[in-house]
Amino acid sequence: MDKSYQSFNKHFPKAISKDIRDYVTNVVLKESRYIFIRRVKGIQFGYCTHCNNRFMTPTPLKHNDFTDCPKCGSRCEVKNHGTSRKYMIDSGFVVYYEKSKVNPNAIIARAWRVSRDYTKEYTEVKTHYQHLAKYLFEPGNAEMYERYFWNDTWHKCNSVYSLESKSLHANNWCSEESIRKAIQGTPFQYSTWDKHDQPQGDYVKFFALYSKYPVIEYLTKLGFGYFVQAKLFDRKTFSCINWRGKRVDQILRLSMQEIKEVQKCGDCANPLHLRLFQKSRSDNNRPSFKEIVSFFNRSEDVASYLDYILNYAKLSQVMAYIKKQLQHSKNREYRDYPAILIAWRDYLQECIELGYDLSNDFYLFPKDLYEAHQRTMKLVQMKADEILDQKIRKRVKELEGFCFEHEGLLIRPARSAQELIQEGKKLEHCVGRYTEDYAEGKTSIFLIRRLNAPNKPFYTMEIRDNRIIQTRGFKNASATDTVKTFIDEFTKAKLGKKSKRKGVAV
């Protein structure tokens, strides 16, 4: 056995105490109490698996009924002596806390799978304890060892975690009474463990966190329990909290004066407010915490938009700009600040794409956000279309060799995104969707036209890997005989093999 396990194990008692056994018997496996009935010479006898007494039944009992044992008073389920007990095993998962044997400041917890197996002789059933894990929580340190069954050894886990989720049964228990007793007189006594929702019912994650971050107590008492919850459930904490901080001001990254300001607002404050207050510390025109709270008063999560915008502007400027845009008579488009933040962020991203200088207030704070955003959106779209068309022009060059004419029909590659969209609209099929694949060279789109009406959409053809994938006319019509002949001739001349037409709809 290795040394670190040995010193770890010193914290744990060897035995399973009477308290634990009572908890398991009376709570965890409370339902696992049966009276087995059998008839001997016409008289019904019962056997209670809880008190192990045999008795004549006062009134006849029936299989699967519930009744109180006349000897011990336990609520029991009645079972026929002869019933099949092939699968009759009751089990549960239990975590129980105790004080450490060696460190008065530490608490421990043990996890067991407990079971009662009735598949053999039901008069000899004992509760079986399968030890699964040991936890140690002490100031600055939390450890967990898990047992490997195949060689009955204990292994240190990388992090402390609950085995509850691994448990296949819903019958999971943790004695809160045992926690209350264990933490008495230890630093865990005021940990606020019972003030938070828990991801699992066994509290091991909470105590592991608390061992590392005693600031949890402060945070909870200051009304910042949200952050503790966020840590417990692995949610965002916005880096608002300095978890290693010792003093309140270090923890909240604010001065005592500022913390008082925050506390005055009580429950209405949320992590976003706190973060904005922290982030605006160096603003010369800094809004008060109360102003921040009453301004950002909606539940929408706008943190990421604000983050982006605060790269370019101070919080006071952001708030002033939002107010102005909301008042702006034309800006009925934005009814509330989240709408403005979203549009503003998008607009700023478009400005970056278009190469505008955002250190210039003219671009950063456009007089009319809606109009400015419409403009940049169009420009960005045009830029994207232009890039697409450049790619398509390159494809047209590559595909020129496939141009072909025969008996009044011609075929040629599609020349632009616009042309493809028009083709799709006129023929009422959806070739427009293929524009990007076409531009990227993933497929090739050809237009079949009549020689006497070269600009009028007629049939559209998709070719991939030198193979015709589909040919579609108006409303996805298949090729007419004339078109079929044309396609055969085209195939012979340009694709070098017999055409394969497939009826896949576009």
Interface residue list for Zn ion (CB under 5 A): 48, 50-51, 69, 71-72
Closest-CA residue to 460 (of 413, 402, 391): 413
In the complex with Zn ion, the residue whose CB is nearer, 72 or 157, is: 72
In the complex with Zn ion, the residue whose CB is nearer, 50 or 99, is: 50
CB 49 to Zn ion: min, Å: 8
Query: Using CB atoms within 10 A of its CB, is residue 41 exposed (0-12), middle (13-18) or buried (19+)?
Result: exposed
Distance CA 172, CA 169 (A): 7
CB 70 to Zn ion: min, Å: 8
CB 74 to Zn ion: min, Å: 5
In the complex with Zn ion, the residue whose CB is nearer, 36 or 402, is: 36
Strands (E), 82-218: 89-99, 107-117, 127-138, 141-148, 153-156, 172-174
In the complex with Zn ion, the residue whose CB is nearer, 78 or 248, is: 78
CA 502 to chain CA centroid, Å, is 43
Q: Are the C-beta atoms of residues 97 and 107 closer than 8 Å to each other? A: yes
CB 122 to Zn ion: min, Å: 13
In the complex with Zn ion, the residue whose CB is nearer, 69 or 232, is: 69
CB 110 to Zn ion: min, Å: 29
Q: How far is CA 165 from CA 29, 53, 169, 178, in A?
A: 19, 38, 9, 21
Structure tokens at 480: 């007419």
CB 192 to Zn ion: min, Å: 42
In the complex with Zn ion, the residue whose CB is nearer, 76 or 252, is: 76
CB 83 to Zn ion: min, Å: 19
Q: How far is CA 118 from CA 34, 91, 122, 161, in A?
A: 10, 11, 5, 32
In the complex with Zn ion, the residue whose CB is nearer, 46 or 199, is: 46
Query: How would you write 20-87 as a 3-class SS string?
Result: HHHHHHHHHCCCCCEEEEEEECCEEEEEECCCCCEEECCCCCCCCCEEECCCCCCEEEEEECCCCCCC
